[in-house]
Chain A
């Protein structure tokens, strides 16, 4: 079945540091890939998405590129802010398998001033 693997957290960075959160996936079909973010006490919000190989999703300074050859969708940001502190979830949606969204376990990011 489909699955998503993320790097273990928590990740603690200083403000303005570079962020990478690794995500790899296993899918039987041709999935769309997503990053969702969950701020404390809130529901999940879509951060960015990519629907086919080599697509780059971007939003709020975050980027991720759909790499089919390495089955990866790593999240990056060049300069994090304290307000980026949250839990980040990598997810896939594979219409071919009829599944709904499959989420990774999440990576907690803490950014210190």
Chain B
């Protein structure tokens, strides 16, 4: 069975540009969450979507937005990129929101470098 898949795996952007990251959850999972992992730190919660509705938002600026599609895949968009946005962006899926089933399944991440 396919796990959580993310694309692209690596990308380089310059300051001020926009980026779109994509995620496909495990088949049957309806909840998708996004996390930002800065080098040397733990993942920080950005968004959670369940059944195409936003269920949670972390402490990130409005430059960050996301959506979930009818097939439960998701996009994370970041506008007006800053150097500090350089990080590994992780997508995680689960059966239900809020970790009710007790486990998040993570993809391998999209590594964004902003120059």
Contact = CB atoms under 8 A, between A and B. Distances in A.
Contact of A32 (B35, B48, B99): B99
Interface stretch (B12-20, B62-70, B74-82, B101-109): B101-109
B33 A100 contact: yes
B56 A98 contact: yes
Interface in A58-82: none
Nearest to B34: A100
A43 B104 CA distance: 11
B42 A106 contact: yes
Contacts of B103: 34, 46, 49
Interface string B71-109: 000000000000000000010100000111011111111
Interface of A: 4, 32, 34, 36, 41-46, 49, 51, 89, 91, 93, 95, 98-106
Interface of B: 4, 33, 35, 40-45, 48, 56, 58, 90, 92, 98-100, 102-109
